[in-house]
Amino acid sequence: MLDAPEQSNKANSDDRLTRIDRRATCSGTGSIPKVRSTYPAVLGVRHARPLLLAALLGRLSYAMGPLALVLLVQDTTGSFGQAGAVAAAAFLANGLLAPLRGRLVDRYGQRRCLLPLALVYGAGLVGIVGVAQAGPAGMPATLLLAALAGATAPPLAACMRVLWATLVGQGPALQTAYALDTVLEEAVFTLGPLAAGGLAAAVSPAVALLAAAGLGVVGTVAFVASPLAGARAGRQADRVGWAGAMAGRGLRTLVISLVGVGAAVGIWEIGLVAAARLEGSTALGGVLLALMSAGSALGGLWYGARTWRRPASQRYLALFVLLALVCLPMAARPSLLTLGVVVALVGAVLAPLNSTAYLLAAELAPPGTLTEAATWVTTANNVTVAGGIAVAGALLDRVGVGWTLATAAACVTAGLLVAAAGRAPLAGAAAPPPPQAPERG
């Protein structure tokens, strides 16, 4: 286990954070009566807009990077296979090591961790531009640098979600903030590939990758320049052991249930394109995916604008049930028009489900593990999306579109069963103590 920061530094950072928190949150409840659960009110909180803009700028780098990387390596080697291998190395290193980066931030603080991570991340991408020019001969170095860049990508999304709680407190406004963050992140990841492709076509793939590196560093520097990020200089967590944030049964249940959703999303990304192609219009596959994104944006904005009385754990289960129901018609291979409606409805449920998952992660995280808990949610989604894409490709060749989309529905149902079986831990209920043997006199 890594050593804790020095006690004097910890005390000073906690004092700074307490002063900021006192201005931003009410004592005891953690909610802020002055911050209503509306988007203008949330964005009007001091420090909110600069922090959010910086975080989104850094996340734009992660949205541009994968396509820029593929285009550069394919351009220099002539092989999409090698380009895919490089992108996979970066993606897997990023997803699998995200909880470790989150744990480091929780232990040592945002400013002390994010800046070094950003510099190594940017250097890795710049290094790829240099070594990739050697073509196939530079592939070993390119793979190594891609994995390095992925492993050191600053967890800006998780850090921003931690700071939202400081900005708006633990009341209804936090759900609004998380919903806004989720919708804007989806918009960034829609814009990123377009920007990378445009730069690669207009100038070169190398320039697109360099732009991604620059955005990552600039966004991170702007983020840690905020006094709020600087105040989170590391806090001593309770002793939760090597498991860290996953020591709690509730968070484990949350993460395992999200594996089913991530796998389903990956299957839909390929399966919907295949469904459109089967009907004679490959181009409409992109339209179906765009409808899912549009539904996600509208559903997320509507969900975040409402004040909910039921606790997050109950809403999470209700949204899971709704997702399982609305995705079922896909397996029947309806007309493209009907499929478009179904896909939009699926998207409208996905964003609220994800924003509620992040809220639950914040509620269930053991003390001092907020950033790591958020990264576990991201990892559960992102890594299993990649797995779902791979599964969809194999299934489409063997059993066809209908059964492939039915498999996605089965994945969602499996996640729902996990969440339903663990509803008590999701609600924060502690496990009952083991029975003790009677004393013998």
Q: What is the CATH number of the domain that holds 211?
A: 1.20.1250.20
Nearest Cα residue to 141 out of 151, 128, 152: 128
Domain-embedded: residue 236: no
Judgement on whether residues 183 and 293 belong to the same structural domain of the protein: no
CA distance linking residue 173 with residue 164, whole number of Å: 9
Please write down the long-range contacts of 331-338, taking CB distance under 8 Å and 24 or more positions apart: 331/402, 331/403, 331/405, 331/406, 331/409, 332/402, 333/275, 333/278, 333/401, 333/402, 333/405, 335/279, 336/275, 336/276, 336/279, 336/281, 336/284, 336/288
Judgement on whether residues 285 and 317 belong to the same structural domain of the protein: yes
Domain-embedded: residue 433: no
Judgement on whether residues 74 and 144 belong to the same structural domain of the protein: yes
Judgement on whether residues 249 and 226 belong to the same structural domain of the protein: no
Q: Are 29 and 170 in contact (CB under 8 A)?
A: yes
Domain-embedded: residue 76: yes
Tens digit of pLDDT at every position of the chain (441 positions): 333 333 333 334 333 333 334 333 333 333 444 677 788 989 999 899 999 999 999 999 999 998 899 899 989 988 888 888 888 889 889 989 999 999 999 888 899 999 999 999 999 999 999 999 888 888 999 999 999 999 999 999 999 999 998 898 877 888 899 999 988 998 898 888 889 989 999 999 999 999 999 999 999 999 999 988 876 655 645 455 677 788 888 999 999 999 999 999 999 988 888 888 887 777 788 888 888 988 999 999 999 888 888 999 999 999 999 999 999 999 888 888 899 999 999 999 999 999 999 999 989 988 888 889 999 998 988 888 888 888 888 888 888 889 999 999 999 999 999 999 999 999 875 444 444 443 333
Judgement on whether residues 188 and 283 belong to the same structural domain of the protein: no
Nearest Cα residue to 163 out of 20, 301, 315: 20
Phi, psi for 169 (deg, rounded to 5): 85, -170
Judgement on whether residues 294 and 325 belong to the same structural domain of the protein: yes
Domain-embedded: residue 7: no
Judgement on whether residues 366 and 410 belong to the same structural domain of the protein: yes
Judgement on whether residues 142 and 226 belong to the same structural domain of the protein: yes
Q: Rounded to 10 degrees, what is the CA torsion of 171, 10, 153, 362?
A: -20
Sign of CA dihedral 171, 177, 179, 181: negative
Nearest Cα residue to 118 out of 12, 214, 41, 198: 214
Judgement on whether residues 109 and 147 belong to the same structural domain of the protein: yes
Note the pLDDT of residue 376.
93
Token pair for residue 321?
Answer: 């049930």
Domain-embedded: residue 440: no
Judgement on whether residues 200 and 259 belong to the same structural domain of the protein: no
Q: Are 384 and 262 in contact (CB under 8 A)?
A: yes
Show the DSSP H helices in 78-153 as ranges: 80-108, 110-131, 139-151
Judgement on whether residues 248 and 227 belong to the same structural domain of the protein: no
Judgement on whether residues 170 and 303 belong to the same structural domain of the protein: no
Nearest Cα residue to 295 out of 246, 336, 340: 340
Last residue of a domain, one of 205, 231, 257: 231
Token pair for residue 358?
Answer: 């992040």
Counting the structural domains of the chain, the total is 2
pTM of the entire predicted model: 0.80
Q: Are 90 and 65 in contact (CB under 8 A)?
A: yes
The domain of 84 spans: 20-231
Last residue of a domain, one of 231, 263, 278: 231
Domain-embedded: residue 6: no
Beta bridge partners of 169: 31
**Coil, strand or helix: which one is 6?**
coil
Note the pLDDT of residue 234.
59
Last residue of a domain, one of 208, 231, 254: 231
CA distance linking residue 289 with residue 343, whole number of Å: 8
